[in-house]
Amino acid sequence: MRLFTLILACCLALPAQAELRYDLQPKQIAENVWLLEGSTDNFEQRNGGNIVNTGFIVTEAGVVVIDSGPSKRYGEAMREAIAGVTDRPVIKLLLTHHHPDHVLGNQAFADVPIAALAGTTELLREQGDAMAENMYRLVGDWMRGTEVVLPNETLQPGTLEIGGHRLRLLALRGHTGADLAVLDENSGVLFASDILFYQRALTTPNSPGLDIWLADLDELQAQPWKLLVPGHGPVASDAAPFVQMRDYLGWLDGLLRDAAASGADMNEVIDSPIPERFSGISLTRFELIRSVTHLYPKYEAQQLQRVDQQ
């Protein structure tokens, strides 16, 4: 009877486990360049945390992967998706920054060099376990077996030549303090990382300042890109993502600055109306609440400093 109960329990569990599969469909966006596009929703069990754009470049020497996704399970599905496109081996994983949706699939790439900016490695070392625990709370069993794997190679800004492809590595700071963007000079595809969000409200938990972020946008837009891959949101062949990002960042900065100058408390700022032009952007209210929590104390402190200097 005990054996029958155990078998029955396993059979009942199988359908639920079988459903936990990322349906990753690689989309070719340029010659030798492929995109795995995530949703613009928030983390939830329905999507398993697949809210991120990852990608890969097929070179003569092998495949270079851009970010590993939100879980071990995602990373494994990504390896399968790559194998369905090419029989060339994966030879390097580039991490754009340390946030969990971009790096918690690293276990599936433990057999290749995992490369990141020095600051990204340090931030992942400091925050990785806490971020992984939070992801377990948010998406549940999708995260089963996922552990933090740190990069084992440090990237420097400049040109990385691999298998006939020239990859321009840009070290930026606006989103986390250590943000990598990758321009494939062969195709003109710019993997802009989370310096660029499009049709999805930006996140600010580690941003050193919106002024720094705006400067990063200038540097990115000045690159000789032909196609933009934002960290979140649809691919674009024009400057619309830059226009939207500058508009949103400018509005957010002005809102926080004016609120601090008027002495508004955090709850008042959170309840601020969102301009109609941003109404179609995913998660605007949710991310406004988070951004006020992350950034407003700094604006208040700056206002107090100005008062003290009078």
Mean pLDDT of the chain: 93
pTM beyond 0.85, yes or no: yes
Domains of the chain by start residue, with CATH: 19-239 (3.60.15.10)
- Res 310: pLDDT: 54
SS3 content of the chain, % helix, strand, coil (to 5): 45, 20, 35
pLDDT beyond 60 at 18: no
Are β-strands 189-197 and 114-117 bridged in parallel, bridged antiparallel, or unpaired? unpaired
Give the tens place of pLDDT for each residue, 118-175.
999 999 999 999 999 999 999 999 999 999 999 999 999 999 999 999 999 999 999 9
Q: What number is the average pLDDT over the span 271-292? A: 96
Quickly state the pLDDT bin for 13 (edges 50, 70, 90).
very low
The residue behind tokens 């032009």 is 277
- Res 308: pLDDT: 53
- Res 295: pLDDT: 97
Closest-CA residue to 47 (of 23, 27, 18, 68): 23
How many angstroms separate the CA atoms of 51 and 44, rounded? 9
Give the tens place of pLDDT for each residue, 177-205.
999 999 999 999 999 999 999 999 999 99
The more confidently predicted of residues 30 and 11 is: 30
Query: What is the torsional sign of CA 91, 168, 100, 25?
Result: negative
pLDDT beyond 50 at 113: yes
- Res 304: pLDDT: 80
The more confidently predicted of residues 13 and 66 is: 66
Q: Which amino acid is at 287?
A: E
Residues in a beta bridge with 64: 57, 92
Cα 247 to the center of its chain, rounded Å: 20
pLDDT beyond 50 at 4: no
Tell me how long the chain is: 310
> 266: which 2 tokens?
């955090």
- Res 309: pLDDT: 57
pLDDT beyond 80 at 110: yes
